[in-house]
Structure 1
Amino acid sequence: MKKWQVVLFLAGWLVLGFLVTAVNNLGAHGEHGPTATATETAH
Protein backbone atom coordinates (compact mmCIF):
# COMPACT_ATOMS: atom_id res chain seq x y z
CA MET A 1 0.00 0.00 0.00
CA LYS A 2 1.04 3.57 -0.56
CA LYS A 3 1.81 5.85 2.36
CA TRP A 4 -1.35 7.95 1.95
CA GLN A 5 -3.48 4.78 1.87
CA VAL A 6 -2.04 3.71 5.22
CA VAL A 7 -2.71 7.18 6.66
CA LEU A 8 -6.32 7.10 5.41
CA PHE A 9 -6.78 3.60 6.83
CA LEU A 10 -5.52 4.60 10.28
CA ALA A 11 -7.56 7.81 10.24
CA GLY A 12 -10.68 5.83 9.36
CA TRP A 13 -10.14 3.48 12.30
CA LEU A 14 -9.61 6.43 14.65
CA VAL A 15 -12.86 8.06 13.50
CA LEU A 16 -14.75 4.77 13.84
CA GLY A 17 -13.43 4.22 17.36
CA PHE A 18 -14.28 7.79 18.32
CA LEU A 19 -17.83 7.42 17.02
CA VAL A 20 -18.35 4.13 18.86
CA THR A 21 -17.11 5.54 22.17
CA ALA A 22 -19.22 8.69 21.70
CA VAL A 23 -22.36 6.62 21.05
CA ASN A 24 -21.62 4.38 24.05
CA ASN A 25 -21.11 7.42 26.30
CA LEU A 26 -24.37 8.97 25.10
CA GLY A 27 -26.23 5.70 25.70
CA ALA A 28 -24.72 5.31 29.18
CA HIS A 29 -25.52 8.85 30.30
CA GLY A 30 -28.97 8.95 28.68
CA GLU A 31 -32.03 6.96 29.71
CA HIS A 32 -30.94 3.35 29.29
CA GLY A 33 -31.11 3.40 25.54
CA PRO A 34 -30.83 0.71 22.87
CA THR A 35 -27.14 0.09 23.65
CA ALA A 36 -27.89 -1.08 27.21
CA THR A 37 -30.76 -3.33 26.14
CA ALA A 38 -28.68 -4.75 23.29
CA THR A 39 -25.86 -5.75 25.64
CA GLU A 40 -28.34 -7.28 28.10
CA THR A 41 -30.04 -9.37 25.42
CA ALA A 42 -26.66 -10.37 23.94
CA HIS A 43 -25.52 -11.88 27.24
Structure 2
Amino acid sequence: MEASDIKRIKELEEENAKLKKLFADVSLENHAMKELFAKKGW
Protein backbone atom coordinates (compact mmCIF):
# COMPACT_ATOMS: atom_id res chain seq x y z
CA MET A 1 0.00 0.00 0.00
CA GLU A 2 1.36 3.40 -0.96
CA ALA A 3 1.35 6.60 1.07
CA SER A 4 -1.28 8.10 -1.23
CA ASP A 5 -3.53 5.09 -0.58
CA ILE A 6 -3.16 5.50 3.17
CA LYS A 7 -3.92 9.23 2.89
CA ARG A 8 -7.04 8.51 0.83
CA ILE A 9 -8.24 5.91 3.33
CA LYS A 10 -7.84 8.41 6.18
CA GLU A 11 -9.76 11.04 4.20
CA LEU A 12 -12.56 8.56 3.54
CA GLU A 13 -12.67 7.56 7.21
CA GLU A 14 -12.98 11.23 8.21
CA GLU A 15 -15.73 11.80 5.66
CA ASN A 16 -17.53 8.68 6.84
CA ALA A 17 -17.41 9.90 10.46
CA LYS A 18 -18.86 13.27 9.42
CA LEU A 19 -21.64 11.61 7.45
CA LYS A 20 -22.47 9.32 10.36
CA LYS A 21 -22.77 12.36 12.65
CA LEU A 22 -24.99 14.15 10.13
CA PHE A 23 -27.19 11.08 9.85
CA ALA A 24 -27.48 10.82 13.63
CA ASP A 25 -28.44 14.50 13.89
CA VAL A 26 -31.09 14.18 11.18
CA SER A 27 -32.44 11.00 12.73
CA LEU A 28 -32.83 12.69 16.12
CA GLU A 29 -34.53 15.67 14.52
CA ASN A 30 -36.86 13.38 12.59
CA HIS A 31 -37.74 11.46 15.73
CA ALA A 32 -38.46 14.69 17.63
CA MET A 33 -40.69 15.96 14.83
CA LYS A 34 -42.63 12.69 14.73
CA GLU A 35 -43.24 12.93 18.47
CA LEU A 36 -44.34 16.55 18.16
CA PHE A 37 -46.75 15.72 15.32
CA ALA A 38 -48.14 12.78 17.28
CA LYS A 39 -48.84 15.05 20.26
CA LYS A 40 -50.57 17.59 18.03
CA GLY A 41 -52.62 14.87 16.36
CA TRP A 42 -51.33 15.42 12.83
Q: TM-score, normalised by structure 1?
A: 0.66
Indicate the structure with greater helix content.
Answer: 2
Give the ranges of 4+ consecutive aligned residues of structure 1 lying more than 6 Å apart after TM superposition. none
Which residue among 21, 24, 27 is the counterpart of 2:29? 21
Return the structure number with greater relative CO, CA threshold 8 A, min gap 6.
1
Q: Distance in 1 between matches of 2:37 and 2:11?
A: 39
Number of aligned pairs?
32
- 1:1-43 alpha-carbon deviations (Å, 9 max, x no partner): 81000000000000000000000000011137xxxxxxxxxxx
Higher CA-based Rg: 2
Unpaired runs of 5+ residues, structure 2, are 1-8
RMSD over aligned CA atoms reads: 1.8
Identity %: 6
Unpaired runs of 5+ residues, structure 1, are 33-43
